[in-house]
Amino acid sequence: MKDGGRLAAAIEVLDEVERRHRPVQVALKEWGSAHRFAGSGDRTVIGNLVFDALRNRASLSAQMQDESPRALALATYVLTWDKGLEALTAVLSEDRHAPEQLTDAEADRLAAPVPNDLQPWQAADVPEWLWPKFSAVFGEYAVAEGRALAQRAPVDMRVNTLKSDREKLLKKLNHAGAQETGLSPLGMRIEAKPGLGRMPHVQAEEGYRKGWFDLQDEASQLAALLAGAQPGQQVLDYCAGGGGKTLALAAAMENKGQLYAYDADRLRLAPIHERLQRAGVRNIQVRDPASSTLDDLKSQMDLVFIDAPCTGTGVWRRRPDSKWKLTENALNDRMNDQVHVFDNAKEYVKVGGRLVYATCSLLPEENADQISRFLSENPDFASVSALDVWTAMLPGKPVPAYANERGELTLTPASTKTDGFFIAILERTA
């Protein structure tokens, strides 16, 4: 396929996402199934166009004075990918599968400088209704933080120390451009490629298939690291999901002690079994919510880790369609979920044990406000400064820019070059 046909395909997929409210990955997969002549390279470019259009929807719509799929796709090609108006004009005229030629109004808007009257939420590519909450967190840096969340995310990997080490794996992955992450001592990163760039398929690498490394964003790696799981401890991963942090905790425990993986949604938990086998983990019990309970674990855990259900505002780089689907009602639902999870998980922490609360959200209602509520209602728990733990465990590494008075940490793409993540540590004192 030529770029004209790829643009037409991207417009078709964006229309499917907008008009029928289809998840973007589903819409892309269905388009590929219906157009089998498109090669893997074509599907990659089409996917990049669609995702970049969604990442920058507000700013591109303002530039084009039009939020249609066509306007977004054309603006992505010319402006976000920096192809230029002349290249687009040629693409539209030379490919019979391309979209219709530009109108005079479209050409004028594509050639115009960035409007100087953009609203802050448009410049930041953050939903308008969410801007007051977002700007309350980041203040004068809110636009920069929003822009960072609108960029492509790198591929981050965590070395599985049960089977390998970072130096060895960096040599193995040198051909893919892997480098050390800036903060996590276990992390490797392949930076995102712009425009037409295609990322390597790391799941096809020998090291992935043999369990030497796993895919995990650096922020998630850091959250598991700061949890401080030790060999021989009793640990509960209360919202284990597919098991990314479970595997990181197991490696920190060196396969010693006992780690329990639980999730209220057994479908989310399903992938964990294959991942455990590949990683060579032997100290995990998976507790299926349909056939087992956690009653025997009450007041027994040295560490309970909560990767709480949340709005996912910190991972907009990876799921840009979710940015525009988020509603006030959805936020309220997640906050209620968090209260429920928090109040259940506390029962398993022993005196002297720790409760780690993490989200991939950047909103205070899901983060610091939840900690304040919990501490006010549970005087037998006290706050432990995650910032102090960071300084002790990561000597010489820059401390996060966003830390509140209790030492709770917020990581962001702009400030730490990670996904957006919140980390708080509590201790049961009585």
Q: Which residue has the tokens 């977002």?
A: 134
CA 216 from centre of chain: 9
Is 360 a residue of the active site?
yes
Backbone phi, psi, residue 89, to 5°: -60, -40
Amino acid 382 reads: A
Rg (CA), the chain: 23
Q: What are 21's two structure tokens?
A: 């409210």
| Residue of 8, 186, 297, 360 marked catalytic | 360
Listed residue (422, 423, 419, 421) closest to 155, CA to CA = 419
Paired with 425 in beta bridges are 356, 384
Q: Give the torsion sign (CA, 335, 337, 339, 342).
A: negative
**Rounded-to-10 torsion of CA 331, 317, 39, 175:** -140
* 272 Cβ contact list (under 8 Å, min separation 6): 240, 241, 242, 243, 246, 261, 286
Q: Give the torsion sign (CA, 131, 136, 138, 139).
A: positive
Contact 318, 286 (CB under 8 A): no
Instruction: For residues 159 and 176, give the distance between their C-alpha atoms in angstroms, rounded to a whole number.
Output: 16
66: alpha, beta or left, given left = phi > 0 and alpha = psi -120 to 50? beta
Paired with 180 in beta bridges are 188
CA 28 from centre of chain: 20
Listed residue (266, 255, 176, 254) closest to 215, CA to CA = 176
3-state secondary structure of 358: strand
Instruction: For residues 65 and 59, give the distance between their C-alpha atoms in angstroms, rounded to a whole number.
Output: 10
Helix%, strand%, coil% for the chain, nearest 5: 50, 15, 35
Amino acid 94 reads: E
Count of beta carbons in the 10 Å neighbourhood of residue 115: 14
Q: Tell me 417's DSSP state.
A: S
Catalytic site residues? 360
